[in-house]
A = this chain, B = another copy of it.
Amino acid sequence: MNRDPKLDALRAQIDAADRELLDLLARRRDLVAAVGDRKIDLGLPVYVPEREEAMLRDRRAEAEQRGVAPDLIEDLLRRIMRESYRAEGARGFRCAVEDPRPVVLVGGRGQMGRLLHRAFTASGYEVRVLEADGWDAADQVFSGAGLVIIGVPIHATVDVIRACAGRLPADAVLADITSRKAAPVRAMLDAHPGPVLGLHPMFGPDVPTFAKQVVVHSPGRHADACAWVLQQWRTWGAAVVEVDAAEHDRHMGTIQALRHFATFVYGTHLMAADVDLERVLALSSPIYRLELAMVGRLFAQDPELYADIIFGSEEGVALARGYRERFSEAVAMYEGGDREAFLERFREVREWFGPLAEVMLRESSGLLAQARDRISGQ
């Protein structure tokens, strides 16, 4: 390293400024914790999108006045707030009901089950777990429960729901968290005469907090009696979106089954072509690195889960067939060197995407910039 006294002095000042930043973060963390305590006292929700947006708008305007990039302060504050949500979750959450009754997690030893276990416990609920080997004592486990959540693999869901028939308190909410909704909701309505609620948390068990995550719910029976469950998710910071069960399953064919299937096929292709991954990564721009990481991450996860999602989708096979057709057409065009047909089809798709294409370009460009921040020392 180069030894220049003036340069060294300036660098020392930068390091001092960065240590000040650390102090500021520690101070802000304590203030946010105090706000959290006060909110719990007052029974207010933790995540208030309007206050967050108003605050960011104010800081952006002030940044502009001081010649600091508004995007910089917004990105920093969003990152700091993410940390606050996580800290909040670790300290416990308000309970959405006055007098909480026990929550039963059927399949509570799975990854999602453990996540829910922690969340309900942190909010003051008694959580009971029912696993396959515990059904002898099921009546005891269900006794007095206010909520029973089925969180078993998709292919077992309907059978497990049937096994609950006639055993739950009449006013308990029966819910599931499977990634399909029509069949489980039907089975729950058959098995339980009381309140029924289909849920689909749109995230994996690796999320640091529920803040800003999407939870889909499909109505079953007695929406009023189910409302507190949704309120509890909102208290955790989640966005709750109502979707009819059949519509949900149709969209999930695209969002989950086909997408994971296509990623799986791409992985098999890389293997068959024996692509030199290390070399390819070294040559890759951030966008391809990221796309490749999206493929690799699939294979680092549970194959059974992906088999459930892909083979559990009724629409998936038809979608995959359609995709294969598009693929064959496009390869024929490629083989024929038909550049004009490519350009024409490209423009058609662009028109079909409409203004969303530009929105997606902007959204992904921001993320790619963040991907670059992390690449260092190359």
Contact = CB atoms under 8 A, between A and B. Distances in A.
A284 to B, nearest CB: 6
A20 interface: yes
B359 A259 contact: no
A249 to B, nearest CB: 11
Contact of A264 (B301, B330, B358): B330
A272 interface: yes
Copies of this chain per assembly: 2
10 contacts: A1-B51, A14-B28, A15-B58, A21-B73, A264-B330, A268-B349, A295-B360, A296-B353, A296-B357, A296-B364
A277 interface: yes
Contacts of A73: 18, 21-22, 25
Given A72-B80, A211-B372, 17 more contacts: A1-B51, A14-B32, A17-B31, A21-B21, A203-B286, A212-B372, A243-B283, A248-B283, A254-B275, A265-B323, A269-B323, A291-B294, A297-B357, A300-B361, A303-B342, A320-B331, A323-B327
Contacts of A350: 299-300, 303
A231 interface: no
Interface in A195-252: 202-204, 206-208, 211-214, 216, 239, 241, 243, 248, 251-252
A53 B264 contact: no
B373 A267 contact: no
B251 A279 contact: yes
A371 to B, nearest CB: 6
Given A25-B72, A271-B349, A335-B317, A50 B1 contact: yes
Contacts of A291: 259, 294
A214 B378 contact: yes
Contacts of A35: 7, 10-11, 14
Contacts of A7: 35, 38-39, 42
A301 to B, nearest CB: 7
B317 A26 contact: no
A140 interface: no
A327 B265 contact: yes
A10 B50 CA distance: 17
A292 B360 contact: yes
A267 B262 CA distance: 13
Interface string A275-307: 111111011111111111111110111011011
Given A38-B10, A203-B285, A361-B297, A334 B18 contact: no
B342 A311 contact: yes
